[in-house]
Amino acid sequence: MKGVADYAVVHDISSDSERLKVNNVLEGFGFRVQKSVFECRMEKKGKNDLIAALNKLNIKTGFIKIYKLEYQCKTNVIGKEKEKDIDGKNAFII
């Protein structure tokens, strides 16, 4: 898909109410892979919409970071890998 990229969106927010609002926004753009990590597949407009929605929340007790995922590099797995992977081994967060 041309113009589509995968992103890892991570947050570290101490307020329960702010964290819930962030999670609700992120669930509309991707899926949770850990408590504070989401994977999102978006076009540029989707990424801009996500950033706008998160900015509207005016987070005061932490931060949110968005990382573009690249799959062209060799990956390293440390520890026991799950037998059945939800993303088909297409995304790796280190």
pTM of the model: 0.74
Residue 88 lies in a domain: no
Please provide the distance, in angstroms rounded to a whole number, between the alpha carbons at the two ends of the chain.
24
Task: Supply the CATH number for residue 52's domain.
Answer: 3.30.70.240
Structure tokens at 1: 């898909």
| Residue 90 domain flag | no
Report d(CA 58, CA 27) in Å as an integer. Answer: 18
In a domain, residue 75? The reply is no
Residue 80 lies in a domain: no
Query: Is residue 53 in some structural domain?
Result: yes
- Give domain status of residue 30, yes or no: yes
Q: At what angle do helices 44-56 and 16-27 cross, to 10 degrees?
A: 160
pLDDT at residue number 44: 93
pLDDT tens digits, one per residue of 41-91: 999 999 999 999 999 999 999 999 999 988 766 666 677 765 545 555 555
Per-residue pLDDT, 1: 57
What are the pLDDT digits (tens) for 12-40? 999 999 999 999 999 999 999 999 999 99
Containing structural domain, residue 53:
4-68
Q: Kindly give the pairing relationship between strand 4-13 and strand 37-43.
A: antiparallel
Task: State the Cα–Cα distance between residues 22 and 73, nearest whole angstrom.
Answer: 30
